[in-house]
Homo-oligomer: A and B are copies of this chain.
Amino acid sequence: MENKYSDDVIGRARVQDTPELEAYYKELEGLGAGALWTVANDIEPWEPRTSSVPMLWKYENLRELVLKSSDLVTPEQAGRRVVYLVNDKRKDVSAAVGWLYTGIQVTRPGESTSAHRHRASALRFIMEGEGGYTVVDGNKVTFEVNDFVITPNSAWHEHGVAENGKTCVWQDGLDIPLVNALEANDYAVYDGKQPLQAPTNYLPLSYGGAGIIPADKVWDKPYSPLFKYSWKQVYPALLEATKVNEGSTFDGIIMQYSNPLTGGHVMQTMGASMQLLPAGFKGKAHKHTGSFVYQCAKGSGYSIINGKRFDWKERDIFCVPSWAWHEHHNASNTEDACLFSFNDLPVIEGLGLYQERVYSDNNGNQILE
């Protein structure tokens, strides 16, 4: 029923320029207007079209420079001491992929930042160090390597590392490019340190296993009351799942960090997952709308994105643009590999824009370019 991919069909613009039309276009331009058929085919693509390219950032290349930033600037000068990763085709909006920002932040023992907040949402994934903490709306949360922490839209937040800790490095993920594009971002600086509202590592609503919620507490915010998802709970959960869950052809054993009150994404604009590729796992290829930033949390492997291979190991970061074919492979036949990722799926799904296509040729795997 569909006639695909050629503009030479009824329903597409196929007007030839004439002197008369050119005069007409000029006249329209003078009135802040134009003829739709001159741009229609361009603004109505046959398939989703991304402006981002797949990229991989090797941590071994970046780590020294990230640490060096702590010699070059203080947190007070920098606001946040962060090296951000930018897509070759999205430099204009400082995005790593699509409308997602990511960066690598370093904090030394005894350092702490002042508190601020913004309409954009933020998340962290911990890469190195000991004694790090964040304070979100008065709730202090300590974290360890591979923990996942959220800082939702408009929550006051600040970070630091204990005096007796070790230099902490973590990945920041923010939707700043999106919220700027939607012309809705703002920013405020907190005057001083936030007073703590609760004991350290208090989470507003859950203190234990799945489905266990304080019966006498109320939570009316549009984001998860769990501010931290600990690796020491997530990794065992993935291992347990391998015993009973055959897993996804594309993603192995994949767990979404979710809001236990809704089963949905942790925040209104960004979601995140952790996936385990069992030893020897060879994923199939598919593509879908939505932009993704990955970090390897454990092991090593490679992803093939739009026909090109990207090899990654622990702490490497890479991105998969919207509608790019992609597949993930564990390089080891003996050890599992884990990929953390965050995405803009709450936006894409929430606005009715999600679609997926499975790669059907070549037994489901791409042919390398």
**Chain B, Cβ-Cβ closest to A83:** B33
A72 neighbours in B (Cβ, 8 Å): 20-21, 24
Q: A35-B69, A65-B33, A233-B208 are in contact. Are A51 and B215 (CB under 8 A)?
A: no
CB pairs A–B below 8 angstroms (20 shown): A3-B188, A4-B188, A31-B65, A33-B57, A36-B79, A36-B82, A37-B73, A43-B176, A49-B180, A49-B185, A98-B183, A99-B182, A184-B348, A206-B211, A207-B237, A207-B244, A211-B259, A211-B260, A212-B234, A347-B351
Verify A260–B73 contact, CB threshold 8 A.
Answer: no
Number of copies: 4
A contacts with B: majority SS? loop
Verify A2–B190 contact, CB threshold 8 A.
Answer: yes
Q: How far is B347's CA from A1's CA once the two chains are assembled, in angstroms?
A: 31
Q: A12-B189, A94-B39, A353-B184 are in contact. Are A226 and B210 (CB under 8 A)?
A: yes
Verify B215–A36 contact, CB threshold 8 A.
Answer: no
Cβ of A358 within 8 Å of any chain B Cβ, yes or no, is: no
Shortest CB-to-CB span from A312 to chain B, Å, is: 15
Verify A244–B202 contact, CB threshold 8 A.
Answer: yes
A273 neighbours in B (Cβ, 8 Å): 215
A214 neighbours in B (Cβ, 8 Å): 241, 245, 253-256
Cβ of A268 within 8 Å of any chain B Cβ, yes or no, is: yes
A245 neighbours in B (Cβ, 8 Å): 202, 207, 214, 217
Contact with B along A6-27 (1 / 0, CB 8 A): 0001111111000011001001
Contact with B along A154-188 (1 / 0, CB 8 A): 10000000000000000000001101111111111
A254 neighbours in B (Cβ, 8 Å): 214-216
